[in-house]
């Protein structure tokens, strides 16, 4: 049956059949792509934004409910100040430019990560992006920015410990759901599919709790070259997997 459908119809059928709701992506390879083209790192990051626009559009087209992308890790502060400053500015400009399109296409934007160490202007822009799109429903886009999963889990443990300390919950009533509800991703289903571009075979401190039973797809394609067809390949590969959830 799938052979007679268009690409879009085929992927929609796969999404429905496999109950694929949430795709997470480690967007890796911007700098290596730029280097291969004899361009500065900034050119790779800019081209990476174009890829993100393409993937967001495709996820909406294919009826994916959630898309979570790794944009800036807590470890990325160790990069050259010039590059970090550029990434902060790029995020701010991108959000300001894209919010009208998000509203036009019914896309809800949220950020996961530690906002406290960001500059005040960037915080305001992130809040603007979230507030302006909070009532949208067709695609939930989470951008992990200044995000690290170990930090997220540490903060969750502290939050739960505080609740135990003040008698709000009993220590014996703590469950996996208690932990999940104290993460940045509370009320968001765990990813079904994790895509890593750029060929590296590691998780890089990304959604460690949430990807316990997530299918992992690694492609050698650098993020700036990842497009709709590459996303289709990942979803088709996901369709071939047998998910057992430890059973």
pLDDT, mean of residues 233-238: 97
pLDDT, mean of residues 229-239: 97
Owning domain of residue 222: 2-239
Degrees to nearest 5, angle at CA 216 with 212 and 220: 150
Q: Among 63, 65, 76, 105, which one carries the catalytic annotation? A: 76
- Specify if 245 maps to a domain: no
CATH, residue 54: 3.40.1180.10
User: Has 76 been annotated as catalytic?
Assistant: yes
- Specify if 195 maps to a domain: yes
- Specify if 102 maps to a domain: yes
What does the alpha-carbon distance between residue 11 and residue 2 come to, in Å, rounded to a whole number? 9
pLDDT, mean of residues 87-97: 95
- Specify if 42 maps to a domain: yes
- Specify if 244 maps to a domain: no
Helical segments of the chain, H only: 7-18, 30-36, 41-61, 81-104, 120-133, 149-165, 176-180, 228-240
- SS3 of 193, please? strand
User: Has 103 been annotated as catalytic?
Assistant: no
What was the pLDDT predicted at 82?
93
User: Residue 215 phi/psi, 5° resolution?
Assistant: -80, 135
Q: Among 28, 140, 146, 182, which one carries the catalytic annotation? A: 28
- Considering the entire predicted model, what is its pTM? 0.94
For the chain, the average pLDDT equals 95
- Specify if 247 maps to a domain: no
* pLDDT tens digits, 140-177: 999 999 999 999 999 999 999 999 999 999 999 999 99
Please state the domain count of the chain.
1
């Amino acid at each position: 049956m799938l052979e007679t459908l268009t690409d879009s119809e085929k992927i929609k059928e796969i999404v429905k059949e496999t109950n694929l709701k949430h795709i997470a992506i480690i967007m890796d390879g911007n700098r290596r792509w730029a280097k291969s083209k004899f361009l500065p790192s900034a050119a790779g990051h800019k081209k990476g934004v174009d890829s993100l626009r393409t993937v967001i559009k495709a996820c909406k087209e294919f009826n994916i409910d959630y898309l979570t992308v790794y944009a800036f890790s807590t470890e990325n502060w160790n990069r050259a100040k010039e590059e970090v400053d550029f990434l902060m500015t790029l995020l701010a400009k991108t959000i300001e430019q894209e919010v009208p399109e998000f509203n036009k296409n019914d896309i809800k934007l949220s950020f996961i990560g530690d906002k406290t160490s960001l500059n005040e202007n960037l915080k305001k822009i992130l809040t603007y992006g979230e507030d302006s799109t909070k009532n949208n429903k067709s695609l939930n886009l989470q951008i992990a920015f200044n995000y690290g999963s170990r930090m997220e889990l540490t903060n969750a443990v502290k939050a739960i410990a505080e609740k135990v300390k003040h008698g709000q919950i009993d220590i014996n009533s703590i469950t996996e759901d208690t932990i999940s509800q104290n993460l940045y991703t509370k009320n968001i289903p765990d990813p079904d599919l994790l895509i890593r571009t750029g060929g590296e075979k590691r998780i890089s401190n990304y959604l460690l709790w949430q990807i316990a039973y997530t299918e992992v797809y690694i492609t050698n394609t650098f993020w700036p070259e990842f497009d709709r067809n590459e996303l289709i390949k990942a979803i088709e590969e996901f369709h071939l997997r047998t998910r057992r959830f430890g059973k």
